[in-house]
Structure 1
Amino acid sequence: MTDTAKLVLENGQVFTGTPFGATGETLGEAVFCTAMTGYQEALTDPSYHRQILVATAPQIGNTGWNDEDGESRLTKGDGPDPGKIWVAGYAVRNPTRRVSNWRATGSLDDQLREQGIVGIAGIDTRAITRVLRDHGSMRAGVFSGAALAGDDELRRRVQDQPPMAGANLSAEVSTDEPYVVPAEGDTRFRVAALDLGIKANTPRMFAERGMEVHVLPVGTTLDQIRALEPDGVFLSNGPGDPATADAAVELTRQVIEAGYPLFGICFGNQILGRALGRKTYKMRFGHRGINIPVLDVATGQASITSQNHGFALEGEAGEEFDTDFGRARVSHVCANDGTVEGVELIDGRAFSVQYHPEAAAGPHDAAYLFDKFAAAMSAAAEGKRS
């Protein structure tokens, strides 16, 4: 049994393989990602907190692990900790036996062991993906070593854990203290970024455009934001059920009422949508990958996007609706299934998208949204001067 690991789904299906990374027990929601590359960025994405990630790509670990590609927030001391893994567990088909990349500082298996991430290898991850597509994302567990037991007992442990629906997780991944990512070159704008589970590349994308980013804890108040005298406010990605994020929704309403330009990504899109009066729902199996097509309703332009979400906003392509802050509309939709991928106030003061324009990992089609935010802040500044 020392060479045995089991992935158990809440519907009773059991997949038997070998331990990968740490041995023991881990519980979470089983979800799949269709990306062929970018496993380090995915594993360190705080949006995967409390989820067991199933990789559909058959071979994982070829490029090892490095000190540069992680997407975690700052977590210790005064320097970045880009290597913190946030997934609850990892399931792969064929872990590579040899690392081959000049940037690698170690292997994926070693890093999983070092951080205590329980994984499983040697299973048919595409078969698991078909189950999750047919029946939806579900609670699961990975068990190895001393944690192994009879299948009925393992299923009981899986079913005893709380579901993702109703989970309020932002505070578990948000920064404890504010920190600043300085602008590259001259500072054009100052951005207050609410950390709901922010990825490291997002402040970098702002910084490249001359924006000084103040990353703030999830419990930040409007008075604390005002004290920074920002030119705009950003709502980050993050894990959990947006229906539980009442405090972030109320803060967003206050930010809009105060007149700050606002931009949101992923979880931030759901928060803005709720602030505008829309409801959210849990998707059957979500969108997780780096090749998902999104349509801009106004222009008809398609972007290939990186996504990681299991909840979405209600609405239809091009739908316009009244809010407490003026007219708004559904600005973007997924070309595959019509899921809402963006909302905005028609006057341009606030907008958000469900996908990840910071593209870590993923395509860069949507990077223009950072420039759109800069334009909104510039227009707001001009309005104040006139």
Structure 2
Amino acid sequence: MKGKLVLEDGAVFYGDMLDERPVLGEVVFNTGMTGYQEILTDPSYCSQIVTLTYPLIGNYGAAKKFNQSRKCFFNGFIIGELCDIGSNWQKEEELAEFLKAQDIPCLYNVDTRAVTRHIRSLGAMKGVLVPETATQEEIDALMKNEIPKEVVKIVTTPKTYKMENPGGPHVVVMDFGIKQHILDSLHGIGCDLTIVPADTKADEIMALNPDGIFLSNGPGDPKDLPEIIEVVREIAGKKPTFGICLGHQLLSLAFGADTYKLKFGHRGSNQPVKNLLTGRVHITSQNHGYAVDEESLKGLPLEVTHRAVNDGTVEGIRHTQLPIFSVQYHPEASPGPDDNRYLFDQFWAMLQKGE
């Protein structure tokens, strides 16, 4: 079936539809060359329509071991060529089968370069995926709907669970939409994990007697989470604290900094970041549409530790007095390079000191 992407500014891009169900979402793009299944199952993309810039998608199929969450939270998927037959010894199904099972509408055979250049020039915006036969009235009615703001509630775990590591330091993980490989990375360095829902109260977290606290990645605008910001304000620094992505933004807001929406965000596995403490540049995996305002850090007990090479935005901070640090990017990768796994070792060292 023929379909189209219609953006809120009226731009239209045509292709073929794998699922004729019309959907609305914020249209963004990811520049990674591999890792489409990890991208599809990253909860941070909740309620978005994601365009992949790499032209051939599906060439190694799909397998459960690469899933980063319990399901796809995408609203839609836009790609160039959809490979019919994937070739990989780990493949369990074709990408098209995976998308159908996850109920993710996909528009393929699209000029994704044109879509990306449009978003890059004008910024991320609302869009709809619809059959080519959809009327303007149907498109307008769909476009009038609001994209959900309380997306963390959609992606967080519904109940507390554990990933045990007997004898290891006990880390309480606040799940705002955490990727599985972050949990695997924390567990892999020896942490005994208790993963709690995003709405868990500060006293409930401290009652678990943690040795450390981890604030996860997740979707949406951090300013839409005032109750969680207050919880973070209460618990941060009482135990060694590490935040990634949304967790980084929430930590910054909790200490009085500000955040803002980026024009088109950072999404890809090839983003250079400079570690200001060492002078080294690392290639990082990123997925965020918001950033910490560096000007707002002035006068606060927070200092910038990492900076994006491409646009100079804040990519990492640490507290000058308390055992707290965070990064905007994804050191666990999946997909992406392993350059930044040293940050998990840094957290481990902090836990060992009991700072």
The equivalent position to 1:71 in structure 2, one of 43, 68, 71, is 68
How far off its partner does 1:158 sit?
4.7
Residue 126 of structure 2 aligns with an amino acid whose one-letter code is R
Contact 1:5-1:143 at 8 Å conserved across structures: yes
Q: How big is the shift at 1:23?
A: 2.2
Kindly provide the amino acid, as one letter, of the partner of residue 371 in structure 1.
D
- Structure 1 letter corresponding to 2:79: V
Instruction: Report whether the alignment pairs 1:232 with 2:212.
Output: yes
1:10 pairs, out of 4, 8, 11, with 8
Aligned counterpart, 1:122: 109
| Alpha-carbon distance, 1:188 to partner | 2.2
The residue type equivalent to 1:175 in the other structure is T
Per-residue deviation, 1:85: 1.2
Superposition deviation, residue 320 in structure 1: 6.2
C-alpha distance in 1 between matches for 2:346 and 2:299: 23
- For residue 45 of structure 1, the aligned residue among 42, 45, 49 is 42
Q: Secondary structure at the match of 1:293?
A: strand
Secondary structure class of the residue paired with 1:360: coil
Which amino acid letter does the alignment assign opposite residue 111 of structure 2? Answer: D
What per-residue deviation string (whole Å, max 9, x for no partner) do you get for residues 193-221 of structure 1? 00000000111101111101111001111
2:348 is the counterpart of 1:374: yes
What residue in structure 1 maps to residue 150 of structure 2?
168
Contact preservation (8 Å) 1:8, 1:154:
no
Q: What is the aligned partner in structure 2 of residue 199 from structure 1?
A: 179
1:179 & 1:361 partners in 2: Cα distance?
25
TM superposition shift of 1:249: 1.0
Which of 143, 146, 151 matches 1:159? Answer: 143
CA distance in 2: counterparts of 1:331 and 1:255, whole angstroms: 22
Give the match for residue 218 of structure 1: 198
How far apart are the structure 2 equivalents of 1:301 and 1:161? Answer: 45
8 Å contact 2:84–2:96 — kept in the other structure? no
- Code of the aligned partner of 2:233: R
Residue 154 of structure 1 and its aligned partner are, at CA, apart by: 4.7
Q: Paired residue for 2:80? A: 93
Secondary structure, counterpart of 2:228 in structure 1: helix
- Alignment match of 1:102 (pick from 83, 86, 89): 89
Equivalent in the alignment of 2:255: 276
Shift of 1:223: 1.7
Q: Does the 8 A contact of 2:26 with 2:147 survive in 1?
A: yes
Instruction: Tell me, in whole angstroms, the C-alpha distance in 1 between the residues paired with 2:137 and 2:273.
Output: 43
Using the size of structure 1 for normalisation, the TM-score is 0.89
Question: Counterpart in 1 of 2:123?
Answer: 136
1:38-60: CA deviation from partner (whole Å, max 9, x where unpaired): 00000000000000010100000
* Structure 2 residue matching 1:68: 3-state secondary structure: helix
Q: Deviations over 1:37-84 (max 9, x none)?
A: 000000000000000010100000011110100000xxxxxxxx4xx1
Identity fraction in percent: 41
CA distance in 1, matches of 2:98, 2:297: 48
Distance 1:340 1:154, change over 3 A: farther
Q: Aligned equivalents of 1:345 and 1:267: distance in 2?
A: 17
Q: d(CA) in 2 for partners of 1:193 and 1:108?
A: 31
Give the CA deviation at 1:328.
Answer: 1.6
1:360 matched residue in structure 2: 334
Greater mean deviation of Cα atoms: 305-314 or 371-380 = 371-380
Aligned residue among 284, 293, 298 for 2:272: 293
Q: How far, CA to CA, are the matches of 1:137 and 1:322 in structure 2?
A: 32
Q: Deviations over 1:141-184 (max 9, x none)?
A: 11138xx422x3354135312257xx23111110000011122x
Quick check: 1:32 aligned with 2:29?
A: yes
Do the aligned partners of 1:10 and 1:158 also contact (CA within 8 Å) in 2?
A: no
Q: Distance in 2 between matches of 1:297 and 1:347?
A: 18
Match of 2:231 among 251, 266, 289: 251
> Are residues 305 and 311 of structure 1, via their aligned partners in 2, closer, same or farther at CA, if it must alter by over 3 Å?
same
Q: Secondary structure at the match of 2:257?
A: coil
In 2: Cα distance, 1:275 partner to 1:371 partner: 25
User: One-letter code of the match for 1:159?
Assistant: M
- Corresponding residue of 1:78: none
2: distance between equivalents of 1:250 and 1:13?
41
Alignment partners' CA distance in 2, 1:155 and 1:340: 38
Q: Distance in 2 between matches of 1:256 and 1:100?
A: 46
> SS of the counterpart of 2:218?
coil
Q: In structure 2, how many angstroms separate the alpha carbons of the residues matched to 1:249 and 1:273?
A: 9
SS of residue paired to 2:74: coil
Counterpart CA distance in 1 for 2:215 and 2:4 is 38
The Cα RMSD (Å) is 1.6
* Deviation of 1:112 (Å): 1.1
Q: Distance in 1 between matches of 2:270 and 2:236?
A: 32
Mark the runs of 5 or more structure 1 residues left unpaired by the alignment: 73-80, 382-386
* Contact 1:10 1:155 (8 Å CA) reproduced: no
